[in-house]
Amino acid sequence: MGSVVGKVMEENFKKQQEFMEKSQSEMLERQIQMQNQMRERQAAMMIARSRDMFQWWSAFYATLAVMGIAGFVKKKSPAALAPLVPFGFIVGYQYDLAYSTKMQRCRAEAERVMEQEGSYIQLPHNLPTLQSIDAARQKGK
């Protein structure tokens, strides 16, 4: 009689353990999916912000260009056109970030750093452990 109860309890324990492992796996998959969706939303916000900044810089540059050309025509001095050069680089950079391939180039460089220069991105004292977290928590009490 005791062995029958023991077998039933052992089977129930195995079923419960399998259920817990499956639940943990699903929870981890959900967390990964949630973090990925948050990352995608943050990246979309960054691109949108870059595009907005490009519009502002473009308007500023266009105004500067009109004023510089008018000053050049009026005074016949090329100094009026000088600000167009550095601001042209700023507008070009912002365009590259907002509408061109800068994000892909940055991603490729980040992948290269992770593969070839991983020591640069390691955390000091490595990843926290459960013991270090518990010790810090106990220290704070």
Residues with Cβ < 8 Å from 71, sequence gap 6 or more?
A: 77, 80, 81
pTM to 2 decimals?
Answer: 0.68
Residue 134 resides in a domain? no
Residue 79 resides in a domain? yes
Instruction: State residue 80 phi and psi, 5-degree precision.
Output: -70, -25
Residue 123 resides in a domain? no
The secondary structure of residue 100, as a DSSP letter, is S
Split into its structural domains, the chain has a count of 1
Residue 86 resides in a domain? yes
d(CA 95, CA 57) in angstroms, rounded, equals 9
* Domain containing residue 53: 2-116
Mean pLDDT in runs of 10 for the chain (141 residues)?
77 92 92 94 94 95 95 92 94 94 93 92 86 88 67
d(CA 80, CA 121) in angstroms, rounded, equals 46
d(CA 99, CA 55) in angstroms, rounded, equals 11
